Amino acid sequence: MKELIIIVYKINIEGSNRSSVDNMISSLQSQYSLSNDEELKENYIIREMWLPVEDQSDVQVIYNITRNK
């Protein structure tokens, strides 16, 4: 069985306009996303959430949900 990994990225966007927020999150997704990591995908189902926040940036991993292959 594959385990589900949910990764929540909270990105501080304080003081940014909508256009720069879209560019920032898009750039971060293309550089740091794990959803296309072939090694991880062998054993895990990877879901990512990119949340703009006006607070401290943070990354949380939720990984203890088991699913069938």
- Kind of pairing, strands 44-53 and 2-12? parallel
Which pLDDT tens digits describe the chain residue by residue (69 residues)? 888 999 999 999 999 999 999 999 999 999 999 988 999 999 999 999 999 999 999 999 987 666 665
Q: Where are the alpha helices (DSSP H) in 1-69?
A: 18-32, 38-41
Residue at token pair 């306009």? 17
Helix %, strand %, coil % of the chain (to 5): 30, 45, 30
- Spatial CB neighbours of 46, under 8 Å, sequence gap ≥ 6: 5, 7, 34, 35, 37, 40
Q: What per-residue confidence (pLDDT) applies to 68?
A: 63
Query: pTM for the complete prediction?
Result: 0.80
